[in-house]
A and B are shown apart, each in its own frame.
Chain A
Amino acid sequence: MVADYAAAILSAGSTTLLVAVLSLLVATFLGLTAAFAKLSASSGLRAVAGIYTFVVRGIPDLVIMLLVFYSLPALLNQWIEMLGWDFRVEFSPTAAGIATLGVIFGAYMTETFKTALQNIPRGQIEAAIAYGLTRRRMFTHIILPQLVRLALPGFTNNWLVLAKSTALVSLIGLQDVMFRAKGAAEATAMPFTFYLIAAGFYLAVTLVSMLLLFLVARRFDVGTRKVLS
């Protein structure tokens, strides 16, 4: 019986990982966009990006999730009612979860990417301009490879926090590892066993991610000079 429930919990691992990876994609996209906005010459863009990171980093993840899942549809439905239209908006827990985690970690990624961009030596950009590279080639050949290397430690860290934060999505009803663990705990009166299995799953994700990203970091560090001690 324990084995059956354990299998059910771990099989939900694919849902947890899917939500985590899709949120990471959203977060990376938002983070890159907002990082360029923060460094742009336009004060309007800088202000919008500044408000975004300030507000998101000032509110707990759980509250943002409840805002997206409950408050946002409620607001939209009020507007729809006022306009006299005949339908109601409702979000699926998966979509709301991915959107929320994407928006939250987009704000953390913004800071990571912004610092990385600022640490690319200015002379390299000037050299690229002097060589007559187009903006796009400058981005793909000069900025991006260094951005990956410089942003990787922060990116790794954000991913590790994000993978754990997916557990919150169970609270709005997504059937992830945590949700199944809760179900098993309530059905069997063996809560410790099943929450421990869930904890083991998250720990395994953390350890595997740390190993993989260590290997990636080593690859991208090829060609940088090391201080010999």
Chain B
Amino acid sequence: MNWDVIAENLPLYLEGAKLTLILAFASLGISFFLAIPLAFLRNSENAAFRYTVMAYTLVFRGTPLLVQLFLIYFGLAQFGLVRESVLWPWLSSPMVCVIAAFVLNTTAYSTEIFAGGLRHIPVGEIEAARAYGMSGLVQARRILIPAMLTRSLPLYGNEMIMMLHATSLASTVTLLEVTGVARNITLNYYIQFEPYVTAAAIYLVLTFALVSAFQLVQRRWAGYLESRIG
């Protein structure tokens, strides 16, 4: 066993864990603000909005994230127009491509989760808001968005964990997050067992921390939805 190699390289793993968390939370953070308006459009009375958002979520939920990532990172270089544009230094950077792919992907899932939450708000709450004379924007801000988010919490929690795990794909485009670090160590030291086991352990700890934090949040903000019997 070569655990001393792992001990020597522990700082690399810590850097990797930092990058993993940055990738996950940057993608989730950006997508959160995109998914809320999209969820409203997904339930809009206007069929054009509704079907456009539906087509977007269908395509991004119906194809593997790996394909989406490769389309953006490797695919865009096919077009001369993109290569010569001022954005190219950005678009050729793995970090930007990874976050773009993750945001597009997780926004599709989050939109459907939030749209589902929106559909399950009791009609009475919306009628009450109208009866109080709230304008559409005030209704959305005070009633619809908070109710939608609390009802979506359990599913959104799953999506956050999925996103945390999806960051491992960033290693396929040279980024050194936890999986990338493990891969480099296997290549540099010719050991196959310890590096990946260490990576797996790190993900387990991160997942467990995220799940625990989420249970607290759930009890704090969505506790009122749980049945009070018993």
Query: Secondary structure at chain A's binding surface: helix, strand, loop or mixed?
Result: helix
B64 touches A195 (CB 8 A): no
With the chains together, A198 CA to B208 CA distance in Å?
Answer: 34
Instruction: Give A202 to B65 CA distance when docked, in angstroms.
Output: 11
Confirm or deny: A93 has a beta carbon within 8 angstroms of a beta carbon on chain B: no
- Whether A191 and B75, one on each chain, are in contact in the complex, defined by CB atoms closer than 8 angstroms, is yes
Does residue B179 face the partner (Cβ distance < 8 Å to A)?
yes
Bound CA span A192–B161, Å: 29
B192 to A70, Cβ gap below 8 A?
yes
- By a CB distance below 8 angstroms, the chain B residues around A199 are 63-64, 67-68, 71
Contact of B203 among A60, A185, A190 (CB under 8 A): A60
Residues of B contacting A185 in the complex (Cβ-Cβ under 8 angstroms): 70, 74-75
Which residue of B62, B75, B182, B186 is within 8 Å of A192 (Cβ)?
Answer: B75
Interface-facing stretch out of B88-96, B113-121, B162-170, B218-226: B162-170
B168 touches A63 (CB 8 A): yes
Residue from the list A62, A74, A75, A198 in contact with B179, Cβ < 8 A: A62
Name which residue of chain B comes closest to A167, CB basis: B64
Given known contacts A58-B204, A182-B70, A71 and B193 CB-to-CB distance under 8 angstroms? yes
B203 close to A195 (CB less than 8 A)? no
B74 touches A195 (CB 8 A): yes
Could you say which residues of chain A place their CB within 8 Å of the CB of B75? 185, 191-192, 195-196
The size bracket of the interface on A is: 35 or more
CB of A164 within 8 A of CB of B63, answer yes
* Contacts of B151-201 to chain A: CB distance below 8 A: 161, 164-169, 171-172, 179, 182-183, 186, 191-193, 196-197, 199-200
Enumerate chain B residues within 8 angstroms of A59, measured Cβ to Cβ. Answer: 165, 200, 203-204, 207
Query: A202, B203: Cβ atoms under 8 Å?
Result: no
Chain A residues within 8 Å of B62, by CB: 160, 164, 202-203, 206-207
> Is the Cβ of A195 less than 8 Å from the Cβ of B70?
yes
Cβ-defined contact, A63 with B203, below 8 A: yes
Interchain nearest-CB distance for B12 vs A (Å): 16
- Max count, chain A CB within 10 A of own CB: residue among B66, B68, B166: B66
| Cβ-defined contact, A167 with B78, below 8 A | no
Q: Residue B79 at the A interface, CB < 8 A?
A: yes
Closest CB of chain A to B169's CB: distance in Å? 6
Closest to B194 in A: A71
**B204 is contacted by which of A55, A74, A182 (Cβ under 8 Å)?**
A55
A103 to chain B minimum Cβ distance, whole angstroms, is 13
- Chain B residues whose CB sits within 8 angstroms of the CB of A70 once the complex forms: 186, 192-193, 196
In the bound assembly, the distance between CA atoms of A170 and B196 in angstroms comes to 18
Among B61, B64, B166, B193, which residue has the most Cβ atoms of chain A within 10 A? B64
Across the interface, do B208 and A58 meet the contact criterion of CB distance under 8 Å? yes
Least CB distance from A83 to B in Å reads: 16
Name the A residues within 8 Å of B76 (CB-CB): 192
Contact A62 B74 (CB under 8 A): no
Chain A contacts to B: CB under 8 angstroms: 55, 57-64, 66-67, 70-71, 73-75, 78, 160, 164-165, 167-168, 170-171, 178, 181-182, 185, 189-193, 195-196, 198-199, 202-203, 206-207
